[in-house]
């Protein structure tokens, strides 16, 4: 692993050294935003599931009592 890095690294960095840092920052920001959105969606889904369960539970109890 360590032997490959010095050979491949400079070649990749030379052609566009100026634009690379910006690209990396943008990618990181996008990834962070995506992660935040996913977390928010998961929270919303969990809340919705809890609400649905609460709504369904009384009906189930009533149905059991009716039978």
| pLDDT tens track for 14-25 | 555 556 677 777
Q: Is residue 61 part of a domain?
A: yes
* Number of domains within the chain: 1
Q: Is residue 24 part of a domain?
A: no
Q: Is residue 20 part of a domain?
A: no
Q: Is residue 54 part of a domain?
A: yes
- The total number of residues written for the chain in this structure: 67
| pLDDT tens track for 4-43 | 555 555 555 555 555 667 777 777 777 888 888 888 888 8
Split at pLDDT 50, 70, 90, the class of 48 is confident
Q: Is residue 5 part of a domain?
A: no
Burial 19-48 (b: 16+ CB within 10 A, else e): eeeeeeeeeeeeeeeeeeeeeeeeeeeeee
Q: Is residue 23 part of a domain?
A: no
Q: Is residue 47 part of a domain?
A: yes
Domain that holds residue 47: 40-67
Given this model, what pLDDT does residue 4 score? Answer: 54
Q: Is residue 29 part of a domain?
A: no
């Amino acid at each position: 692993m360590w032997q490959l890095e010095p050979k491949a690294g400079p070649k990749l960095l030379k052609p566009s050294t100026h634009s690379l840092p910006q690209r990396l920052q943008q990618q990181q920001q996008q990834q962070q935003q995506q992660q935040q959105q996913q977390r928010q969606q998961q929270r919303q889904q969990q809340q919705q599931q809890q609400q649905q369960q609460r709504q369904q539970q009384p009906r189930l109890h009533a149905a059991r009592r009716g039978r």
